[in-house]
Structure 1
Amino acid sequence: MPQLIIEITENTRLTCSQDELLDEANAALLATGQFGEPDIKSRCVTLTTYRQGTENRDRAFVHATVWILDGREQAVRKQIAQAVCGVLTDAVRPGAGQSVQVSVNVQEMERAVFTKQIIGE
């Protein structure tokens, strides 16, 4: 654990590749001290169909969901969200006249029902 899912609208301009973004986000999660290195899993999903508001304007967004096992205090969950948000914010390069919203939510999975199998190695 954790599972990091970054959703990026296709019109979002980044200062790095999505691969580099994932590397930075994984490093930030590791730096929180909450997770083992091989347990961090992440992916980017580029959104080609999306809406933001009701006006036809050049808007973009990046939203990350971090799934973690339950039991961590709210302050720790907030630290995790801020670490990921910092990486995402640093990676966004808005275009002229473009507004980009960056958000992160930390969700908890029930430890009692979570199942994981490691195959190989």
Structure 2
Amino acid sequence: MPHVTIELTENTRLNRSQEELLDEVNAALLASGQFQEADIKSRCITLPVYRQGTEARERAFVHARLCILDGRELATRRALGQAVCDVIAEAVRPLAGGEVQVSVEVAEMERASYAKQVITSAS
């Protein structure tokens, strides 16, 4: 824990690779002191089909969902969401004549029902 899923519209342009963006998001989450390094999992999903609003304008969006186990205070959740948002916004290039919206949702997963197993090789 945590899990980060970043969805980008196909017309979103980054000033770094998606792999580098994930590295930066993971580093920001590690720097928060809330998570162990190996527990941070992230991925990017490019959306080839999407809609934003109703007008025929040049628009793009990036939305991240940060899933964490429940029990952290609102201020901590807010800081985590803002840290992820800041990293993503820094990586996004503006659209010529358009806009890009960056948003982050922090979702709590119920600790009591969360299951996890770590599979390691025999040494």
TM-score w.r.t. the length of structure 1 is 0.98
Task: Give the residue type in structure 2 aligned to 1:50.
Answer: Y
- Determine whether 1:101 maps to 2:96: no
Residue of structure 2 equivalent to 1:49: 49
Q: Tell me if structure 1 keeps the 8 A contact 2:59–2:95.
A: no
Residue of structure 1 equivalent to 2:118: 118
**Alpha-carbon distance in 2 for matches of 1:37, 1:5:** 17
Q: Runs of 4+ in structure 1 displaced over 4 angstroms?
A: none
**Alpha-carbon distance in 1 for matches of 2:4, 2:32:** 14
Q: Secondary structure at the match of 1:84?
A: helix
Q: Secondary structure at the match of 1:25?
A: helix
Spell out, residue by residue over 1:28-87, the C-alpha distance to the aligned partner (whole angstroms, 9 max, x if none): 010111000000000000001100000111100000000000000000000100100000
**Alpha-carbon distance in 1 for matches of 2:55, 2:111:** 42
Residue of structure 2 equivalent to 1:73: 73
Residue of structure 1 equivalent to 2:20: 20
**Alpha-carbon distance in 1 for matches of 2:18, 2:117:** 28
Query: Is there any run of 5+ residues in structure 1 with no aligned partner, and where?
Result: none
Spell out, residue by residue over 1:70-119, the C-alpha distance to the aligned partner (whole angstroms, 9 max, x if none): 00000000010010000000000012102000000100000000000000
Residue of structure 1 equivalent to 2:7: 7
Q: Tell me if structure 1 keeps the 8 A contact 2:9–2:60.
A: yes
**Alpha-carbon distance in 1 for matches of 2:42, 2:90:** 18
Aligned length: 121
TM-score w.r.t. the length of structure 2 is 0.97
Query: Is there any run of 5+ residues in structure 2 with no aligned partner, and where?
Result: none
**Alpha-carbon distance in 1 for matches of 2:103, 2:33:** 22
**Alpha-carbon distance in 1 for matches of 2:58, 2:115:** 42
